[in-house]
Amino acid sequence: MMGIMRSIWKGSIAFGLVNVPVKVYTATEDHDIRFHQVHAKDGGRIKYDRVCQVCGNSVQFADIDKAYTSPDGDQVVLTDTDFSKLPAAEKHEIPVLEFVPSDQIDPVLFEKSYYLEPDSTTPKAYQLLAATLERIDKTALVHFTLRQKTRLAALRVRDGVLVLQTLLWPDEVRAVEFPSLEDAPAPRPQELKMAETLVESMSGDFDPSEYTDEYQIELQKLLDEAIASGTGKVVPAAETEPAEQADAEVVDLVAALQRSLESSGRREAAPAKPAKKPAKKAAKKAAPRKSATSKSTASKTATRKGA
């Protein structure tokens, strides 16, 4: 059953000089059944204690700092104050860096997906950005800061809703070299033809609802039978607090778009057909920002890995 969606982040998308207030929601959820460890003898739950290896005492979470050990064995301890000094993008802004062809983003870079909801009484700016992305068939590259970590992300449209997908940094994707493939013989034409025929016979349109997690279904069935037989015990879930609701200012789209066009070198903008051309001009205006932001991101990445 789908859980109640609650926003995990609030801010705005910086699209040229247009401000798009949004709320961010996690787009996916894990339905795997969770287990905890118990004592086989009496069924008591196993608890874990944070024990200091120096003094042997239990340590509260508030008294724990983060430490890094270098390859030479040197340990560096950092506090929250140290982390706050590191470069990061604006915590409540998602700046659009540039627009790129969607097919140029390798799917291996995709990490986690989020839904974006308009956080305004008049979601005109939200609808404008979504319609623009659909018409130009491009993906917006943005910066997204969540939990003190700035990520590169892709912004696209799915069923009329803006979707933000965080991306891995290029150096986080492993290079692959398999010697067994270097000297492998190429497939023969007859083999290729037969394989293509087989593929064609197994081809169809993708429908996710046709596929189910049989393991989880059978596992749930096993648990339900154990509960029905009296060997299990149901523990009610804890209640959670309702989502916080807030409103944001509505931007003057025409004025903001006009200023974005003027700052990009164009003094006049055609009043008709505003969806496709302003998006490209906004991308040109955002390009210089990308250069500066990229330097900051590179510095951030080097600082983080150096730490």
Q: Which residues contact 243 (CB under 8 A, 6 or more apart)?
A: 4, 5, 6, 7
Q: What pLDDT score was predicted for residue 221?
A: 84
Q: What pLDDT score was predicted for residue 268?
A: 52
Q: What pLDDT score was predicted for residue 298?
A: 42
Is-contact 126 19, C-beta < 8 A?
no
Q: What pLDDT score was predicted for residue 283?
A: 42
The three-state secondary structure class of 245 is coil
Q: What pLDDT score was predicted for residue 240?
A: 40
Tens of pLDDT along 115-156? 999 998 889 999 999 999 989 888 999 999 888 788 999 999
Q: Which of 155, 160, 87 is nearest to 123 (CA)?
A: 160
Is-contact 138 156, C-beta < 8 A?
no
**Token representation of residue 147:** 């939990």
Which residues in the chain land under pLDDT 50? 1-2, 235-251, 269-307
What is the C-alpha separation between 68 and 71, in angstroms, rounded? 10
Q: What pLDDT score was predicted for residue 126?
A: 94
Q: What pLDDT score was predicted for residue 182?
A: 86
Is-contact 144 164, C-beta < 8 A?
yes
Bridge partners for 123 per DSSP: none
The residue assigned the tokens 């033809």 is: 193
Q: What pLDDT score was predicted for residue 88?
A: 65
User: Do the strands 138-146 and 93-101 form a parallel or antiparallel pair, or are they unpaired?
Assistant: antiparallel
Q: What pLDDT score was predicted for residue 279?
A: 43
